[in-house]
Structure 1
Amino acid sequence: MRDSSLDSSRESDPLRRIVNIRVGEGVVVLLAAAVFYCLLMSFFIMRPIREEMAQQGDVRNLKWLFVGTLGGMLIANPIFSWVAARTTRRFFIPAVYRFFMFNIVVFLALFAYFGVGAEASGEFNPHIARAFYVWASVFNLFIVAVMWGLFADIFTSAQGKRLFGLIGVGGTLGAASGAATTVFVAGHLPNPLLLLILSLLLLEVAVQCLRGLMRRYRIGEPDECTPGRAERDSAGEPAEPGGSAWDGLIMILRSPYLLAVCAFMLLLTITSTFVYFMLHNVISESGMESSDRIALFARMDLAINGLTLLIQLFLTGRIMRMIGVGATLGALPLVTMIGFGAVAIAPVVAVVVVFNTLRRVSNFALSRPAREVLYTVVPRSQKYKSKSLIDTFFYRGGDVAGAFLFDALFKVLAGIGAVALAAVPIAAVWGGTAIWLGRRQREKEAAAPAVIDTPSAILPP
């Protein structure tokens, strides 16, 4: 029998109270944060390489790389769903990451064979460069979508509200570590592409951490106990996703809840693309020198990472439990509406920079954890199949739609301020979608079999 006085002393630990972790949750939160850390560090190490690939050609055609990425998502998702339908989570989750590791080896071989660096006048083969850009963009979204699918499966809704922001700290630190590694290491390597080897190794570390989580929750074992899910499984939810390759799309079309999540994601990425293009337009027209632009981008990233880390560590869980999932989701559309209004009044560098910074902090610290909580109340097959489709294909679809829509509005309205004003109603519709989703999430959580948010709810028997 567990010593209640010991549990009481652990619960009263000041650090546990600050970060809102309960007894028995420390190890799984650390493992989950370590997975996120390794995945984002892996991507942010290769992100500058991806951006360099975009320079191998006319940058005015960048939107067509967005279209290529969308096509890549369209191909990848049915394949992922087909594999998920025929294998267990214990197999297909590590297999996704091992597949991307194999892809890195293939690209390294292609770059080595076709020549790169001084021998090739500092230029890459344009076809391989474009293929790498598209692949890296698919990689970025897929590895995170699969990870959050597992986390939505093993954590209850109540735990997600408390812990997902804290797990996000791992991702924030991983992104910062990856960027710093590239800055300080790339110049000391004979070929910067060798950094891809480090990305590959980090993926393997993430796989081992994921396997540790799955062992702790006995995923794939005959006597599996997925904490907080046992009642639902006994009520009829399959132990594995199963189904067909097109189930993800079919389930979305049949579910008003998932369709609303799709709408939220599309409006998120459309408005994100608007802000991205506005930022680059006002900076381009400012006459700033290259070194000043680089310094500005660096200061923005520093501010975003610092503010995001503080909010994720100490506030995200408390905010979500205090005001609910819907209001937490609605914070980002509200910031976006105010920001577009400010840019409409004063379309200058300072305003757009502050808007971009606050918006990205709101996204990483509040919106992203709240979005993941939305999936804790849906069946297991939707967590893996529909979620991956929404987080990848619909996400990139919003990017493409935003790029072409911004281009059209900019030509017709002839000005950043006018485009920003036209974007305010889009943000308002987005906010309404967030509130509706929050209400439906609360209803689904209340209708689910009771799962007590206690330390014992996450401990294997």
Structure 2
Amino acid sequence: MTSYFSKNTIFTGLFFFFALFSLFVLRPFRNTIAADIGTGDLTFYLLIVVVVMLLVNPIYSLIVSRVRLSKLVPSIYGFFILCLCGFYFTYSYLPDIFAVKTIFYVWYNIFNFFVVAIFWAMTVNSFDIEDGKKFFGIISGFGSLGASCGGALVDGFLYDKENLSLLIAVSSLLLSIFFSSHVQRKEITLNTSGDNMLVAGLIPSSALEQFSQIRTNPLIRQFVLYAFVWTCLSTALWFFQLEIINNYTMELAQDQKAIQGLEDEEKLANFLSAEKTRIFGRADSIVPLITLFVQIFLAASILKSKMLGIKFVLTVYGLIFSLAFLAVSGYFSDYLLASSAVLIFLILQGVMRPFEYGLNKPAREAVYTTLNSKEKYKSTVFIDTFTNRFGDASGGLLFNMLFSLGLVAYVAPLAIIPLAIYLMYLGLGISKSVSVVKSK
């Protein structure tokens, strides 16, 4: 048992390392596009992502029911590799077309969450809940190291070389597929025989099975709501961080005009975009290392702790969000690090993301191990893709609604704190449900 899981831990970790490396070598460019779009219009693009996710999830569910699971990662990741090659050639001939960049922004969000969701769907089938508590932190640490390497590469070298980043992402996905093929998993069959044909005989029931799973399993329903609320909070907080970075670059633009005489608007825009990409790359190189520390040295002990455990992690998330929104309010009110925009951005990133990926994500995935095989491959991916994207769009709408109601920048974050308190309540409810499942 020990050698089996040690081998699986290594290969699963390398699988995750290269999956996240491929994401984070492109993520700073995605974040720069988001900052350039602006928080006022960004919600529209997040709604597009929601619609696409709603359309794609039944297709994914049908694929899972029809192909061998050993072919799932090569099939899905291979599709994304083809897309990356398409963006490479498009950027080569249309480098400055903003519409292409917005298409990339929408695509990246889909790419990001399917790559990670499929990784975890495959992984939770190789561990039970106790082994998940022990090993998911270590496996997540491999991913954090890959994310840090990707972010550091952009910060130090690739911040103005998007095409090269696309090619590196392709190579990394190929390596991810290679290491995925070496992970041992339970031999299960997800094929749905004798499906009743729905919608005038066009859609097999296997394509919509995740919806019936949500309806019949109360634990999955609780996770759907939990995922929606935390992603809503996370996106609202991210929008505030984009405002912080945009405020910083506006001041920087004035300084560049005064000091270096950059009056050419195109040159100035390119300079500021590169500066934003470097800031995002810096965060993506530093924050994953903090996350790695949490995953390696804290995750297993906290998740296995009788005093803390999964209950503590799922519940305290709301408190951490509350403190983050208080910090944002302090920044905009000129009382907290008002002159240090990049520093407050890095602090928020350095707290929220390590907790999410170092503790909360492993805790959620450990709970997912208690589900049956079909639920692991379908419902969990639905939660990690559509539900999270719907929460993203809702968080963007919430952010813009608060400002449309006339709230000033330092009051708007305070108005979101009640939703963070509600997240604590949801986490407590899931913890009680898990205790009931374990006792059976």
Normalising by structure 2, what TM-score?
Answer: 0.82
How big is the alpha-carbon RMSD for the aligned residues of Structure 1 and Structure 2?
2.8
Answer yes or no: is 1:91 the counterpart of 2:68: no
For residue 444 of structure 1, the aligned residue among 434, 437, 440 is: 437
C-alpha distance in structure 1 between counterparts of 2:206 and 2:374, whole Å: 10
How far apart in 1 are the matches of 2:361 and 2:299? Answer: 10
Counterpart CA distance in 2 for 1:59 and 1:362 is 25
Give the deviation of 1:56 after TM superposition: 7.7
Q: Displacement, 1:52?
A: 5.3
Q: Does 1:318 align with 2:301?
A: yes
Structure 2 letter corresponding to 1:260: Q
- Select which of 334, 337, 357 maps to 1:350: 337
> Structure 1 stretches of 5 or more lacking a match?
1-6, 8-21, 118-122, 225-237, 448-461
Residue 104 in structure 1 maps to residue 84 in structure 2: yes
Q: 1:168, 1:312 within 8 Å by CA — same for their partners in 2? A: yes
1:417-432 equivalent positions in 2, closer than 5 A: 417-432=410-425
**Do the aligned partners of residues 393 and 28 (structure 1) sit closer, same or farther apart at CA in structure 2, a change above 3 Å counting?**
same
1:376 matched to 2:369: yes
Identify which of 248, 258, 280 aligns with 2:210: 248
Distance 1:170 1:84 in 2: 26
Distance in 2 between residues matched to 1:203 and 1:103, nearest whole Å? 12
Q: Is the 8 A contact 1:72 1:135 kept in 2?
A: no
The change in CA–CA distance for 1:116 and 1:293 in structure 2 (over 3 A counts) is closer
Q: How does 1:62-101 map to 2 (within 5 A)?
A: 62-101=42-81
CA distances 1:52-91 after superposition (whole Å, capped 9, x unpaired):
5557877742222211211221222111001111122112
Aligned partners of 1:131 and 1:105: how far apart in 2? 14
Structure-2 change in CA distance of 1:265 and 1:239 (3 Å): same
Q: Alpha-carbon deviations, 1:139-182, whole Å to 9, x = none?
A: 00001001101111110110001111111111111111112223
2:315 alignment counterpart = 330
How far 1:106 moved relative to its partner? 2.7
Other structure's SS at 2:439 match:
helix
Q: Does the CA contact (< 8 Å) of 2:42 and 2:396 recur in 1?
A: no
Name the aligned partner's letter for residue 95 of structure 1.
Answer: S
Name the TM-score, length of structure 1 as normaliser: 0.78
- The CA distance in 2 between the partners of 1:378 and 1:153, in whole Å, is 10
| Aligned residue identity for 1:337 | S
Question: Which of 372-381 and 91-100 deviates more?
Answer: 91-100
Q: Does 1:116 find its partner at 2:94?
A: yes
Checking the alignment, whether the CA contact within 8 Å between 1:332 and 1:359 is kept in structure 2 is no
Partner of 1:18: none
- Does the alignment pair 1:175 with 2:147? yes
- Could you tell me how far 1:255 is from its partner in structure 2? 2.3
What residue number does 1:275 align with?
237
* Counterpart contact for 1:241–1:381, Cα < 8 Å: no
User: Match of 2:394?
Assistant: 401
Question: Aligned to 2:167, which of 197, 202, 208?
Answer: 197
Please say if residues 69 and 137 of structure 1, whose CA atoms lie closer than 8 Å, have aligned partners that are also in contact.
yes
Q: Confirm whether residue 307 of structure 1 aligns to residue 290 of structure 2.
A: yes
Q: 2:206 & 2:281 partners in 1: Cα distance?
A: 45
TM-aligned CA deviation for residue 314 of structure 1:
1.0
- CA 136–340 in structure 1, closer or farther in 2 if over 3 Å, else same: closer
List gaps (5 residues or longer) in structure 2.
193-204, 254-271, 339-343
1:262 counterpart residue number:
224
Residue 19 (structure 1) aligns with: none
Give the Cα separation in 1 of the matches to 2:31 and 2:351.
24
Cα separation, 1, equivalents of 2:75 and 2:38: 36
C-alpha distance in 2 between matches for 1:193 and 1:293: 17
Amino acid at match of 1:244: S
Percent of paired sites with the same residue: 25
1:72 and 1:211 map into 2 onto residues whose CA distance is: 29
Q: Kindly indicate whether residue 269 of structure 2 is the aligned counterpart of residue 289 of structure 1.
A: no
